[in-house]
Structure 1
Amino acid sequence: MAKSLELDTEQSALPKHDLIFEDINQEKSPPLSLTFVPAIMDIKESWDKSSTSLQIPRQVENHYRTHITDTSFLIKHPLPNSIIVQSNQSRAGNRSSVTPTNKEGRKLDVLVCHLYLVASFVIRVSNYQATMGAYHRLWNKILPILQTTPEDVRTAALNIHLEAITLAKQQHLAAHHIADAASKSLVSSITLRQHAWVRSSRIMNDARTCIEELPFDGAGLFNEKTDYVMENLHKIHKTARLYAIQQPRVKSWADAFGEDLYYIVTKYSGSLLLQKKYKDVEPTLKIKEVDGLELVKKFSEEMESMLRRKVEAVERLVEAAEDADLYHEFNSSLEFDYYNAVLINEKDENDNYVELGNEFVLEPNEHFNNLLVNTTYSDIQLPTNVYNKDPAILNGVYMSEALNPIFVDNFERDPTLTWQYFGSSTGFFRLYPGIKWTPDENGVLSFDCRNRGWYIQAATSPKDIVIIVDISGSMKGLRLTIAKHTVVTILDTLGENDFVNIIAYNDYVHYVESCFKGILVQADRDNREHFKQLVDELQAKGVGTVNKALTEAFRILMEFRSAGQGGLCNQAIMLITDGAMEDYKYVFEKFNWPDRKVRVFTYLIGREVSFAQNVKWIACNNKGYYTQISTLADVQENVMEYLHVLSRPMVINHDHDIIWTEAYMDSALFASQAQSLLLMTTVAMPVFSKKNETRSHGILLGVVGSDVPLRELLKLAPRYKLGVHGYAFLNTNNGYILSHPDLRPLYKEGKKLKPKPNYNSVDLSEVEWEDLDETLRTAMINGETGYLSMDVKVPVDKGKRVLFLTNDYFYTDISGTPFSLGVVLSRGHGEYILLGNTSVEEGLHDLLQPDITLANEWIYCITDIDPGHRKLSQLEAVIRFLTGEEADLECDEELVQEVLFDAVVTAPMEAYWTTLALNMSDETEGGVEMAFMGTRAGLIRSSLYVGSEKVSNRKFLSSDKESIFTMDHFPLWYRRAAEYPSGSFIYSFSFEEASGGMPEAVTVSTSVTVTVGGKTGIAAVFHPPEIKGSVKAG
Structure 2
Amino acid sequence: MSRSACFQRQQRDRYLCSYALSPSVGSGFREVPLIIKEHKGICSSPLRQNKTAYLLLQIYAANRQYYTIEMNNARHLVESAAREIEKLLSNKVKALKRLASAAEEFQQAHAWKEEFGVRLSALSRNESRPRIKPDFQPNRAFRRLVDFNHTAVHIPTDIYEGSTIVLNELNWTAALDNVFKKNKEEDPTLLWQVFGSATGLARYYPASPWVDLTKTSNRIDLYDVRRRPWYIQGAASPKDMLILVDVSGSVSGLTLKLIRTSVSEMLETLSDDDYVNVVSFSDQVKSVSCFKDLVQANVRNKKVLKDAVNRIQAKGITDYKKGFEFAFEQLKNLSESRANCNKIIMLFTDGGEERAQEIFAKDNKDKKIRVFTFSVGQHNYDKGPIQWMACANKGIPLILVPFSEYLDVLGRPMVLAGVKAKQVQWTNVYLDALELGLVITGTLPVFNLTKDASGNQNQLILGVMGIDVSLEDVKRLTPRYTLGPNGYYFAIDPNGYVLLHPNLQPKNPKSQEPVTLDFLDAELENEIKVEIRHSMIEGENGEKTVHTLIKSYDERYIDKGIRTYTWTPVNGTDYSLASVLPPSSTYYIKAKLEEAITQAKRKYWVGQVKDWFSVCVCVLTMRFREYCNGLTPSNNNTAFLESFIHLIDRQTPNSPNCKTDLINNLLLDAGFTSELVTKYWSKQKPDGVLARFVATDGGITRIYPKRAGEEWTANPETYEASYYKRSLNNNFYIFTAPYINSCCTNIAVYVSYSVAVLGVKIDVNAWMENFTRIASNSKVRAKHLDCVILDDGGFLLISNQDEYIGKIGKFFGEIDPSLMRRLLNASLYSFSKSYDYQSVCDPESETKAGAGLRSVYVPSIADILNIGWWASTASSCITEQTQYYFYNDTDSFSGLVDCGNCSRLFHAQKLSDTNLVFILVESKPTCQSCDSKSLLQAEQKSDGPDPCILAQQPRYRKGPEVCFDSDENVSVQGLGWRRQIIRIIMSGKHISWRVPMSITDMSQPRCVQIMALYTRGSVLGSLF
TM-score, normalization by structure 1: 0.62
- 8 A contact 1:429–1:449 mirrored in 2: yes
The verdict on how the C-alpha distance between 1:793 and 1:564 changes in structure 2, with shifts beyond 3 A counting, is closer
In the alignment, the residues of structure 2 paired with residue 780 and residue 514 of structure 1 have an alpha-carbon distance, to the nearest angstrom, of 31
Answer yes or no: is the 8 Å Cα contact 1:878–1:896 preserved in 2.
no
**2:465 corresponding residue in structure 1:** 704
Q: Secondary structure at the match of 1:404?
A: helix
Query: Counterpart of 1:832?
Result: 587
**AA matched with 1:990:** P
Rounded to whole Å, the distance in 1 between the matches of 2:100 and 2:267 is 28
| Aligned residue in 1 for 2:262 | 486
Residues 1:768 and 2:524 are matched in the alignment: yes
Distance 1:591 1:1021 in 2: 69
Partner of residue 28, structure 1: none
- Equivalent-residue separation in structure 1 for 2:128 and 2:671 (angstroms): 64
Q: Is the 8 A contact 1:726 1:825 kept in 2?
A: yes
Question: For residues 838 and 864 of structure 1, do their structure 2 counterparts lie closer, same or farther at Cα, with a shift above 3 Å needed?
Answer: closer
1:468–1:574 contact (8 Å) kept in structure 2 = yes
1:586 aligned to which of 354, 358, 375: 358
Q: Larger C-alpha radius of gyration, 1 or 2? A: 1
Per-residue deviation at 1:685?
A: 1.4
Return the match for 1:626 from 374, 397, 403.
397
Q: Percent identity over the alignment?
A: 28
Corresponding residue for 1:1019?
Answer: 755
Taking the aligned partners of 2:680 and 2:644, their CA distance within structure 1 comes to 27
Q: Any unmatched runs of 5+ in structure 1?
A: 1-204, 213-225, 234-246, 630-634, 748-752, 866-870, 1009-1017
Q: Which residue of 2 aligns with 1:842?
A: 597
Equivalent residue for 2:250? 474
Residue in 2 that maps onto 1:731: 492
Superposed counterparts of 1:153-172, under 5 Å: none
Structure-2 change in CA distance of 1:854 and 1:308 (3 Å): farther
Letter in 1 for 2:461: L
Deviations 1:219-267 (A, max 9, x none): xxxxxxx7xx79x99xxxxxxxxxxxxx999999996x8777777x64x
Does residue 1:408 correspond to 2:172, yes or no?
Answer: no
Partner of 1:972: 722
Write the distance in 1 (CA, Å) between the matches of 2:532 and 2:171. 50
User: Structure 2 CA distance, aligned partners of 1:912 and 1:417?
Assistant: 47
1:785 to partner: Cα distance: 1.4
Residue 651 (structure 1) aligns with: 415
Q: 1:692 aligns with which of 451, 454, 476?
A: 451
Looking at structure 2, the residues matched to 584 and 855 of structure 1 have their Cα atoms a distance apart, in angstroms, of: 72
Higher RCO, Cα 8 Å, sep 6+: 2
In structure 2, what is the equivalent of residue 107 of structure 1? none
How far apart, CA to CA, are the structure 1 residues paired with 2:149 and 2:631?
Answer: 18
Distance 1:538-1:911 versus aligned 2 partners, 3 A rule: closer
**Letter in structure 2 aligned against 1:974:** Y
The correspondence for 1:812, drawn from 556, 568, 575, is 568
Q: Secondary structure at the match of 2:250?
A: helix
Q: Compared with structure 1, are the counterparts of its residues 781 and 877 closer, same or farther at alpha carbon in structure 2 (3 Å cutoff)? A: farther
What's the C-alpha RMSD, in Å, of the aligned pairs?
4.4
Displacement of 1:878 in angstroms is: 8.4
Q: Number of matched residues?
A: 722
Q: Which amino acid aligns with 1:404?
A: D
Structure 1 residue corresponding to 2:706, chosen from 937, 946, 950? 946
CA contact (8 A) 1:458 1:657 kept: no
Alignment match of 2:343 (pick from 551, 559, 571): 571
The structure 1 residue matched to 2:555, chosen from 789, 799, 802, is: 799
Asked if 1:541 corresponds to 2:294, the answer is no
Offset of residue 860 of structure 1: 4.4
Q: Within 5 Å, which residues of 2 pair with 1:239-250? A: none
**Aligned position for 2:80:** 298
| Equivalent residue number for residue 552 of structure 1 | 326
CA distance in 2, matches of 1:815, 1:511: 41
Q: Which amino acid aligns with 1:653?
A: A
Provide the rounded CA distance (Å) in 2 between the counterparts of 1:1021 and 1:624.
66
Q: Secondary structure at the match of 1:805?
A: strand
Instruction: Name the CA distance, whole Å, in 1 between partners of 2:750 and 2:691.
Output: 12
- Superposed counterparts of 1:299-448, under 5 Å: 299-334=81-116, 359-369=133-143, 371-438=144-211, 444-448=220-224
Q: 1:847 to 1:733 in 2, by over 3 A?
A: farther
Query: Residue 377 of structure 1 contacts residue 404 of structure 1 at CA under 8 Å; is this kept in 2?
Result: yes
Q: 1:1013 maps to which residue?
A: none
1:715 aligns with 2:489: no
Secondary structure of the residue that 1:774 maps to in structure 2? helix
Change (3 A) 1:978 1:533: closer
Q: 1:63 is matched with which residue?
A: none
CA distance in 1, matches of 2:222, 2:630: 37
What do the CA deviations read for 1:753-775 (whole angstroms, capped 9, x no partner)? 66598952545256331337721
Cα contact 2:353–2:381 (8 A) shared by 1: no
Equivalence for 1:851: 613
- Aligned-residue offset at 1:792: 1.8
Amino acid at match of 1:978: L
**Distance in structure 2 (CA, Å) of the matches to 1:325 and 1:756:** 31
Q: Distance in 2 between matches of 1:355 and 1:467?
A: 50
Secondary structure of 1:279 counterpart: helix
Q: What is the DSSP-based 3-state SS (H/G/I as helix, E as strand, rest coil) of the residue aligned with 2:96?
A: helix
Shift of 1:893: 4.8
Q: Which amino acid aligns with 1:971?
A: A
Structure 1 residue 579: Cα displacement: 2.1
Q: Deviations over 1:469-495 (max 9, x none)?
A: 211122222222222222222211111
Q: Give the aligned partner of residue 26 of structure 1.
A: none
1:108-136 Cα distance to aligned partner (Å, 9 max, x none): xxxxxxxxxxxxxxxxxxxxxxxxxxxxx
Distance between the aligned counterparts of 2:118 and 2:678, measured in 1?
A: 70
2:350–2:375 Cα contact (<8 Å) kept:
yes
- Cα distance, 1:581 vs. partner? 1.8
> CA contact under 8 A between 1:715 and 1:859: conserved in structure 2?
no
Q: Retained in 2: the 8 A contact 1:296–1:811?
A: yes
Q: Are the structure 2 counterparts of residues 697 and 886 from structure 1 closer, same or farther at C-alpha, using a change threshold of 3 Å?
A: same
**What secondary structure does 2:286 align onto?**
strand
Alignment of 1:258-269 (within 5 A): 266=51
Residue in structure 1 matched with residue 868 of structure 2 by the alignment: none
Task: Provide the rounded CA distance (Å) in 1 between the counterparts of 2:709 and 2:733.
Answer: 21
Tell me, what secondary structure is at the counterpart of 2:114?
Answer: coil
Judging by fraction of residues, say which structure has more helix: 1
Query: Do structure 1's residue 990 and structure 2's residue 702 form an aligned pair?
Result: no
Q: Distance in 2 between matches of 1:418 and 1:840?
A: 39
SS at match of 2:756: strand
Q: Report the 3-state secondary structure (helix = DSSP H, G, I; strand = E; otherwise coil) of the residue aligned with 1:528.
A: helix
- The 2-side partners of 1:332 and 1:491 are apart by 35
Q: Give the partner amino acid of 2:252.
A: K
TM-score, normalising length: structure 2? 0.63
- Deviation string 1:84-114 (CA, Å, 9 cap, x unpaired) is xxxxxxxxxxxxxxxxxxxxxxxxxxxxxxx
How far off is 1:989 after superposition?
Answer: 4.8
Deviations 1:6-61 (A, max 9, x none): xxxxxxxxxxxxxxxxxxxxxxxxxxxxxxxxxxxxxxxxxxxxxxxxxxxxxxxx
Q: What residue in structure 2 maps to residue 596 of structure 1? A: 367
Residue 1030 to residue 378, structure 1, CA distance change in 2 (3 Å): farther
Residues in 2 aligned to 1:864 and 1:908: alpha-carbon distance in whole angstroms: 23
Deviation of 1:824 after TM superposition, in Å, equals 1.0
